């Protein structure tokens, strides 16, 4: 069997296309051309067609792509059928904001618990997720078979916490710490460094 091996960048864009398609679904639009979907997603039409080519051949020449089928196909590839449980470690300012951020739920992720070294000090305004002490983290991960973690602890403790997460069985980490985390190859890490992102903007002006 051929394994299509979809490139990472394409996968990233598929998520974007999916979001655009959902809007079209909501508006009961049935077909869409590569050029208009590409414009909505902010990419080149040829690139979009190339990306969709990884899903098989869907489009109708002369017409465009069927919105619903295409959205389903992307969902299948991205495995978006059920909500993924996520834990969050480090309920400081940023962590608390992330817990309240509803964008995660919209995209299929559900924060099921949060951990901090001083859980009693966490202000619970608008947070419906339980906050526990980090000592309880490994057992929680194992018991609930959580695979994804969001890391928003101070940089100085990021590696230490990461080690605990990995030992407990976490397979994917979204980190907001401005450090390079060392993990086994089997664990995926995605780092978002807010200051670096802002810097990028400033350098191209």
Partner DNA sequence: TCGTGTGAAGACGTTCACAGCT
Partner DNA sequence: AGCTGTGAACGTCTTCACACGA
Strands 84-89 and 148-151: parallel
CB of 198 to DNA, least distance (A): 20
**Interface of this chain with DNA, residues 52 to 81, rule: CB under 7 A:** 52-53, 57-65
Q: Which does 83 bind (CB under 5 to 8 A by kind): DNA, its own copies, none?
A: none
**4: contact with DNA by CB under 7 A:** no
In this chain, which stretch among 7-15, 104-112, 117-125, 183-191 interacts with DNA, using CB under 7 A?
Answer: 7-15
Per DSSP, what are the bridge partners of residue 115? 89, 132
118 binds, among its own copies, DNA, none (CB under 5 to 8 A by kind): none
C-beta closer to DNA: residue 7 or 169: 7
**DSSP string of 27-52, one letter each residue:** TT--EE-HHHHHHHHTS-HHHHHHHH
- Which DSSP symbol is given to 45? H
Report DSSP state, residue 31. E
Per the structure block, which two tokens stand in for 169?
């069985």
Any contact of residue 15 with its own copies (CB under 8 A)? Answer: yes
Out of 17, 104, 141, 162, name the contact with its own copies by CB under 8 A.
Answer: 104
- Beta-carbon contacts of residue 37 (< 8 Å; ≥ 6 apart): 17, 20, 21, 48, 65
| DSSP bridge partners of 150 | 88, 174
Contact positions vs its own copies (CB under 8 A)? 8, 11-12, 15-16, 19, 40-42, 78-79, 84, 86, 93-94, 96-98, 100-101, 103-104, 106-109, 126, 147-148, 150, 171-174, 178, 180, 187-190, 192-205
């Amino acid at each position: 069997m051929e394994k299509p091996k979809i490139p990472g960048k394409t996968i990233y864009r598929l998520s974007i296309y999916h979001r655009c398609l959902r809007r079209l679904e909501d508006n009961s639009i049935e077909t869409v051309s590569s050029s208009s979907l590409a414009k909505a997603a902010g990419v080149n039409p040829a690139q979009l067609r190339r990306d969709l080519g990884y899903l098989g051949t869907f489009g109708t020449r002369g017409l465009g792509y069927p919105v619903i089928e295409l959205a389903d196909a992307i969902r299948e590839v991205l495995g978006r059928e059920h909500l993924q449980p996520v834990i969050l470690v480090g309920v400081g300012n940023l962590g608390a904001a992330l817990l309240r951020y509803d964008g995660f739920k919209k995209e299929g992720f559900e924060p099921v618990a949060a951990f901090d070294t001083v859980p009693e000090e966490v202000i619970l305004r608008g947070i419906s997720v339980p906050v526990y002490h980090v000592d309880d983290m490994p057992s929680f991960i194992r018991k609930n078979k959580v695979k994804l973690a969001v890391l928003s602890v101070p940089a100085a403790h990021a590696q230490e916490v990461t080690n605990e997460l990995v030992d407990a069985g976490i397979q994917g980490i979204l980190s907001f710490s401005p450090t390079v985390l060392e993990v086994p190859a089997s664990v995926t890490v995605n780092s978002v460094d807010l200051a670096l992102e802002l810097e990028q903007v400033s350098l191209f002006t």
